[in-house]
Amino acid sequence: EAGVTQFPSHSVIEKGQTVTLRCDPISGHDNLYWYRRVMGKEIKFLLHFVKESKQDESGMPNNRFLAERTGGTYSTLKVQPAELEDSGVYFCASSHARTGLPSTDTQYFGPGTRLTVL
Amino acid sequence: GEDVEQSLFLSVREGDSSVINCTYTDSSSTYLYWYKQEPGAGLQLLTYIFSNMDMKQDQRLTVLLNKKDKHLSLRIADTQTGDSAIYFCAESLMNRDDKIIFGKGTRLHILP
């Protein structure tokens, strides 16, 4: 079974440009999460999709960030316009069920996209 | 508030035990986790413990939880070179287990 995949693995853009990150969750996983790790800091939750609906977007930093999950499969995270402080590693995770038990709710993480804004 | 703290670096000789410590602030934690990130790879869930447990052992890994002190530790017995990675302590909260709160990660370096 393929794991969570993310594209691109690394993106370097200039301040003011737009970047779109993509996440393909594990097939059949309804839950999809975005997290971000800014250099030297903790990994922070951004948002959570259940299928195509945003369940919780409390971690989204500001309105320059837009996440979508049309059709409830893959998700995109667009940053427009990018700022220097957006640099970091963006992780995507997916999980199958929502039973409250880590054994079934385990979030499987992708390798991350490293975003560098110059 | 929600805060998870852990030291940033740990060096251990191959064959010795590694102990990575973590403290958290929120008393409503339901599950506490240890994730491992190897270079270029995603986060791998190593183990987790329910907040009403004191200890969990899984092969070379031992997790100890002191709920009174809000202290979590991960002990890796007989540390190998393949254990070199960043280890993240994390928690999920009661009624909010869709969101995992992570520490900054401890980089474990193995000395020959």
Q: What's the maximum distance between 2 C-alpha atoms anywhere in chain B?
A: 45
Q: Which residue has the tokens 């054994």?
A: A103
**Would you state the pLDDT for residue A69?**
96
Element (H, E) at A6: strand A5-7
Q: Write out the two tokens for B63.
A: 């997790």
What ranges make up the beta strands (E) of B2-51? 4-6, 9-13, 18-24, 29-37, 43-50
Return d(Cα A62, Cα A70) in angstroms, integer: 21
**Which whole number is the average pLDDT over A87-111?**
80
CA distance A41 to chain B (A): 5
CA distance B9 to chain A (A): 12
Task: Kindly list the residues from chain A whose CB atom is less than 8 angstroms away from the CB atom of residue B90.
Answer: 43
Q: Write out the two tokens for A92.
A: 């995507």
Task: Kindly list the residues from chain A whose CB atom is less than 8 angstroms away from the CB atom of residue B92.
Answer: 102
CB neighbourhood size of B50 (10 A):
13
Show which of residues 90-109 on chain B sit within 8 Å of chain A, judged by CB atoms. Answer: 90, 92, 97-105
Per-residue pLDDT of chain B (112 residues; tens, 9 = 90+): 568 999 999 999 999 999 999 999 887 778 899 999 998 788 888 998 988 889 999 999 999 999 999 999 999 999 999 999 999 999 887 666 568 889 999 999 999 8
The answer to whether B33 contacts chain A (CB < 8 Å) is: yes
Question: In this complex, which of A41, A109, A111 lies closest to B104 when CB atoms are compared?
Answer: A41
Question: CB B97 to CB A100 under 8 A?
Answer: yes
